[in-house]
Structure 1
Amino acid sequence: MNLKRLSIILAITLFVNLLGGCELISKTEEGEKKTVVAKVNGEKITKGEFEKIFQSQLVQYEMMYGQDFATKKENEELIKNIKEDLLNELINERILLQKAKELNVQPSQEEIDKEVAKAYDEAVKQAGGEDKFNKTLEAFKMTVDDFKNYMANRVVIDKVYDEIIKDVTVSEDELLKYYNENMYDYTEKPNKMNVSHILVETEDTAKKVLEELNKGAKFEDLAKKYSIDPGSKDKGGNLGDIYYNDDNYDKTFLTNAIALPVGKISPIVKTQFGYHIIKVNKKEEYRLKTFDEVKDQVKEVVLEQKKAEKIDETFNKWKEEAKITKYIDRL
C-alpha cells in the first residue's frame, strides 16, 4: 500500500467518525452501562446495576463528609474499598436469588407484590406521606421502582433464609450453658461497679507500682504518675461505672474486677492492653434470676444465634461453590 492510498483511507476513517460523532457519546454511555463488572454462575452484573446503587450510597457519604467526598485525592483508596464492598454485596445477593430458584422456594409474583406493597405503605407512613417519601428517594437518586425492586429481592432472600433455618433447634443443655456463661444479663437490675486502674506497659513497672501501693502510696497519685491510659490517668485511674456485662471491656479485666472486694487492690492483671492494677471503689449487685424464670428469653437469644450461624455457614459454602468472576478494574 502506497502512502497516498494510506492517507486517503485515514481521511475517510476520520470523516466517518466525525459524522458519527453525535451518536458516539450516547453509544459509549449505553455501552458503559452494559459493561460486565462481575459474573455469578454465568449471570452478569452490569455496571449500570452497580452504579445505580453506588450513586445512592455516595449520597450518604456526601451528607456526612461533604459534597466533594468522592473527588478528594485522599479518599481514592476509600472509594475503591467502598466499590469493592458493594460489588461483593451484589454478588452475595445474586447467589441468594439464584438459590431461591434452585431450592424451589421462589415465592409467587402475587406473594412478592403483596409483601412489597406492605413495605411501600410502611415506608410512606414513616416518611410522613407519599410526597416526602418520593423526595427522600429522589435525594438518594432512587425511584419508586428501585425501592420496589429492592424490596422484592428482600422477599425472595427471606424465603431462602427461612429454608436454611427451618430445622434449627436448641437443646436444654445449650440453654443452660448460655445462661451460666451470661448470668449477668439476667439479674433483677444490671450489676455495676465503680472501677479504677493503673495501666502500665511492663510487668516490672507493675511490680514497682504494687510495691509502692503496699508501702502506703495513694492509688490516685500513682495512676497520675505511671498509668498509660489517657482516658483515666488524670482522674486518678477512675474509669467510672462499668456494668458487669459490658462487652467494651476486656473479659480478663472484667472477671478480675468483678471478683475483687470493694476497696481492695488486685494483683497484677495482664490483658491485651498491658499490665493492670485494679481497685473497685463501689459495687451495686442484684439477685440473679433463676434459669426457669428466664428460660424463654435465653431460648430466644440462643435460637437466633444458632440461626445466624447456620445462615453464615450455609452461605459461605454456597459462595465457595459458586463460579464468581470479578472485574474490579471496570468499577
Structure 2
Amino acid sequence: MRSSQVVLTLWKGLAIICLVLVVAGCQRAGREEVLARVGSARITQADFDALLEEVPPYARAQYTTEEGKKQLLDIMVRWEVLSRAARDEGIDKREDIATRLNSIEKRLLSETYDGEVLRAMAGVPRSDFEAYYREHKEDFRIKPSVTVSHILFETEEEALAARQRLEDGEDFAALAGELSKDLATRGAGGSVGVVVKDEPIPGLGNLEEFVVAAFALPVGQVSHPVETSRGYHLIKVTGKDAGGYEELDTVMERIRDEILVSDEDIEAYYGENPDEFIEPEKADVRHVLCETEAQARRVLRRLEGGADFEEMVETYSTDRGTKNRGGRIGFVTKGRRIPYVGSSEEFEEAVFALQPGEIGGPIHTDKGYHVIRVDSREESYTKTLDEVRDEVRRKLLPERQRQGAEDAYEALKTRYRVRIMGEEEPEVGQHTFDDLFKLAEEAQAQEKPEEAINYYREVMNRFPDHREAYKAQFMIGFVYSEMLTDYDKAKVAFQVVIDRYPECDLADDARWMIDNMGTNAVPFEPTGTLTADKTTMGMS
C-alpha cells in the first residue's frame, strides 16, 4: 500500500484544486454523514465520494477497501489541517501563493466553462435554447401514464370469481401468479409496467378497452372484468402520472443538436450528396467451401444433379463459421468486404452474375474453392430522407459543434477586448470612434469585408463603453451575413448585441437578422439608427 505522502505527491494537482475550493469556502452538497471534523469544518461522505471520483480509475479500487478508505480520509484530514495552519501563518497571503492559487482558479474555471458551455453547448446562448423550447414545446410533452398490473382470464365468470376473492382480502399479486393466463406477467405478480396514453401496452399491444379502463381507475382499485381481444382482465392501477413537459435543462442536448443542424441543413446535405445515400445492390448467398478445385467440381455436379445444398454443406464444407447455418454467409454487397470470405472481385462478380436459386462456381479465393448459391437479390436503391435524417445529423454535428465553440470563443475575445501585442492590426493610430467607423464603412464600400470587420472590432476594443458601440457590434454581424454569407459567425455577433445591449435600438434588428438572414424574407430595413447611411452599408 502506498503511503499518504506518496499519494499526495501523485495527486499534487488535485490537492491544489481542493485547496482552492477550501480557500474559496466552497462546500459540496450531497450526503451529510460526517466522517471527520477539523475544528468547525466537517468532512462529509459527499466530500469523500467526490474526491474518490477524481482518483484515476486504475488506482480507485485500492481506496474502496476499509484500509484504503481510512487512508483517503487521512489525506483529506491532512489537507484540512495543513491548509488551516498555512492560513494561520499567513502563507495564503504570500504573493507567490496567491499567484499560483489565482492561476489554478483560472484554469479550473476556464476548463469548466470550455467543457460545459463552449464544447457541450457549442457556444449556443441560453436565450436560443429558451426560444427553441418555447416554439417547440409540444415536442417535449410527457404523456399521461399509469402503472398497471392485471390478471388475464379466458371467461368473464373466471374473472368475476377472482374479483370476489380479492374483495375477500386475497393479494392481487399472489392471485395473478396462481390464475393469470398471461405467462409474460404471471411470474411478476401481473405487473404490466407503465402504460402511456395513446401508445401500445407493453407486452399486450393495442388494447383500447384496457387503456380506457386503466386511466379511469383510481390508484389502488381493481376494475370489473374488462373484455379485450386477449380475454377478460382484472386491472389494478398502482400509480399515475398526469404528464406535463420535460424541463428545459433536461433536453438541452437535444435542442442543441436541432439548433446546430436544422432540418433544412439535413435536406440541403441530402440533396447535394446523393451518391452517399445509394444502397448498393446485394445478394443473400450460401457456399460450400472445398480445399481443392476437383472436390468443388464434384460438389457442383451433384448440386446440378439435384442434391440438397444444405446436405452438401454438411458433408463437404470446411468453413466452420457457416457449416452449422447451411452454408449461409449472409448478404454480399457490391463494393464491400464479403462475410467469411474477405475481399474478392472474382467472388463478387460470380455472385452478381447469378439469379436467385442459381448455383455457380468453383470460385478460387485465399480461403479455398467455393461453390455458391444465390438465395435472393436486392436491387440498388437510394435511401429516403427520413431513413437517413439521423445519420446526416450525426455526420454534421461534430464540425458544427467545433465551429460553434470556436465562434463563441471569438465573440468572448471581442467582449473582453483581447489584444495580442505584436499581431497585425488595422492602422488606427489615434483615430476617434467616428474615424474608425468611417474607415470600416469605406472598407465595406470597397468590398473589403475582412478589413471592415477588423475596424469594427477595433471600435469595440477601444471604445467598448461608447454610447454607440453597439452599432459597431451590429455591423460585424451584418458584414458576416450580407457580404461573407457566414451566417454562423453573423449569428454569434448579433447575439452579442442582444446580450450586451438589450435596450439598444438595434436589438430588435439583431433578432430579425438571426431569424431571417439567408432566407428570402423581405429585405432588411433597420428600425434603429446607424451611424452610416444604408447605401454605404450595402443595404440599399
Q: TM-score if structure 2 supplies the norm length?
A: 0.29
Computing the radius of gyration over CA atoms, which structure comes out larger, 1 or 2? 2
Task: Name the structure with the higher helix share.
Answer: 1
Q: TM-score if structure 1 supplies the norm length?
A: 0.43
